[in-house]
Chains A and B, each alone.
Chain A
Amino acid sequence: MTAPTVPVGDAAVEPRAAREGWRDLSWRRVKIVARSDMRQLIEDKGFWMPMVFLGAIFFLIIPTVLLLTITKIGNVEVVSQMSKTLEVLPSAAQDQIEGQSPEGKTAYALAVFLLAPIAIVVPLTISTAIGASTIVGERERGTGEFLAHSPAHEKEIYLGKLIASLVPGYATTLAGFGVYSLIVNLLVGPEVGGWFFPTASWWTLMLWVVPPFLALTLSIVLRLSARVKSTAAAQQAAGLVTLPMIAIAYSQSTGALFGASSSGLIIGVIAWILAIFGLSRGMRAVSRSRLLGVNDGV
Chain B
Amino acid sequence: MTDAAPTTAGSPAPIVELSGVRRRFGQVDALAGLDLEVPANRITVLLGPNGAGKTTAIRMITGALDPHAGRVRTFGLDPSVHGEEVRRRCGVVSAKPALYDRLDGHANLAYSAELYGLGRGDHIDQRIREAAARFGIEHALDKRVGGFSTGMKTRLALARSILHQPDLLLFDEPTSGLDPESSHAVLDMIREMTDDGRTVVMCTHLLLEAEGLADKVIVMEAGDDLVSGTPTDLTRRFWPGTVVLVGAEAPIDPAVLRTIPGVRQIEPDSEPNQVRLHLDGDHRTPDVITALVANGLRLTRIEPISPTLEDLYFAVRTKRVAGEIAEDGGRRLADGEGADGGRDGDLTSVTDRTRQVAALTGWPGSEGSR
- A142 and B94 in contact, given A5-B33, A5-B69 (Cβ under 8 angstroms): yes
How far in angstroms is the closest Cβ of chain B from A33? 8
Interchain CA distance A7-B24 in the complex, whole Å: 13
CB distance from B102 to the nearest CB of A (A): 5
Nearest CB in chain B: distance from A288 CB, A: 5
* Contact-residue size bin, chain B (C-beta under 8 Å from the other chain): 35 or more
**Residue among A16, A20, A36 with max Cβ neighbours from chain B (10 Å):** A36
Q: How far is the CB of B173 from chain A (nearest CB, A)?
A: 12
- Chain A residues near B100 (CB-CB < 8 A): 36, 40, 141, 143
Residues of chain A within 8 A of B178, CB atoms compared: none
Which bucket holds chain A's interface residue count? 35 or more
Docked-complex contact B26 and A39, CB < 8 angstroms: no
- Tell me the B21-55 residues at the A interface (CB within 8 Å): 22, 25-26, 28, 33, 35, 37
B81 to A40, Cβ gap below 8 A? Answer: no
Bound Cα distance A58, B114 (Å): 38
The reply to whether B228 and A1 contact each other, CB–CB distance below 8 Å, is: yes
- Asked if A151 CB lies within 8 Å of chain B CBs, one says yes
Distance (Å) between the CB of A29 and the closest chain B CB?
6
Answer whether A1 and B37 are a contact pair too, CB < 8 Å, given A149-B87, A151-B87, A151-B88.
yes
B96 in contact (CB, < 8 A): yes
Partner of A8, one of B68, B112, B116: B68
Indicate the member of A7, A16, A143, A289 with the most B CB atoms within 10 Å.
A143
Could you say which residues of chain A place their CB within 8 Å of the CB of B22? 5
How distant is A30 from chain B, measured CB to nearest CB, in Å?
Answer: 11
Residues facing A in B64-98 (CB within 8 A) are 64-71, 80-81, 83-84, 87-88, 90, 92, 94, 96-98
- Among the stretches A125-133, A173-181, A186-194, A290-298, the one at the interface with B is A290-298
**Chain B min CB distance to A177 (Å):** 28
A144–B28 Cα distance when bound, in Å, is: 22
Indicate if the CB atoms of B102 and A294 lie closer than 8 Å. Answer: no
Cβ contacts under 8 Å, A2 to chain B: 19-20, 35, 328, 331
B115 at the interface (CB under 8 A from A): yes
A3-B71, A5-B69, A151-B84 given as contacts; is B98 within 8 A of A145 (CB)?
yes
Q: Does B99 contact A (CB under 8 A)?
A: yes
A32 interface residue (CB < 8 Å to B) = yes
- The proximity string for A residues 1-16 relative to B, scoring 1 for CB distances below 8 Å and 0 otherwise, is 1111111111001001
| 114-143 of chain B: CB within 8 A of chain A | 114-117
Do the beta carbons of B103 and A297 come within 8 Å of each other?
no
Q: What does the 1/0 interface line of A264-296 toward B look like (CB < 8 Å)?
A: 000000000000000000000000110010111
Is A87 interfacial (CB 8 A cutoff)?
Answer: no
Residues of chain A lying within 8 A (CB to CB) of residue B96: 142, 145
Q: How far is the CB of B338 from chain A (nearest CB, A)?
A: 14
B80 touches A16 (CB 8 A): yes
Contact A1 B334 (CB under 8 A): yes
Nearest-CB residue, chain A, relative to B99: A143
In the bound complex, how far is the Cα of B84 from the Cα of A24, in angstroms? 10
Residue of B nearest to A42 (CB): B102
A152 at the interface (CB under 8 A from B): yes
Contacts of B25 in A (CB 8 A): 294-297
Contact with A along B301-340 (1 / 0, CB 8 A): 0000000000000000000000000001011001000000
Contacts A8-B69, A150-B115, A288-B65 given; indicate if A3 touches B84 (C-beta within 8 A): no
Closest B residue by C-beta to A288: B64
- Interface flag for B111 (CB, 8 Å): yes
Contacts of A295 in B (CB 8 A): 25-26, 28
Identify the closest chain A residue to B116 (Cβ): A151
CB contacts (< 8 Å) of B170 on chain A: these are 149
Q: Which of A6, A20, A145, A288 has the largest number of chain B CB atoms within 10 A? A: A145
Asked if residues A148 and B59 are in contact (CB atoms below 8 Å), the reply is yes
Determine the residue in chain B with the shortest Cβ distance to A141.
B101
A100 CA / B80 CA spacing, docked (Å): 70
Q: Tell me the complex Cα distance, A153–B83, Å.
A: 9
Q: Quick check: A8 and B94 within 8 Å, CB to CB? A: no
Nearest opposing residue in chain B for A150, CB measure: B115
Output the least CB separation between B370 and chain A (Å).
Answer: 25
CA distance A297 to B65 in the complex (A): 13
Answer yes or no: A72 CB below 8 A from chain B CBs. Answer: no
B residues near A8, Cβ cutoff 8 Å: 67-70
> Who on chain A is nearest to B334 by CB?
A1
**A84 touches B (CB below 8 Å):** no
If A43-B102, A149-B62 are given as contacts, then 11 extra A-B residue pairs at C-beta distance below 8 Å, sorted by A number, are A3-B19, A5-B33, A8-B69, A20-B83, A43-B103, A142-B94, A143-B99, A143-B100, A145-B96, A148-B64, A288-B64
Can you list 25 contacts pairing A with B, beta carbon distance less than 8 Å? A1-B35, A3-B35, A5-B20, A5-B22, A5-B33, A6-B70, A8-B70, A9-B69, A16-B80, A33-B115, A43-B102, A43-B144, A141-B98, A141-B100, A142-B94, A142-B96, A145-B98, A146-B94, A146-B98, A148-B59, A149-B59, A149-B62, A149-B90, A151-B84, A151-B87
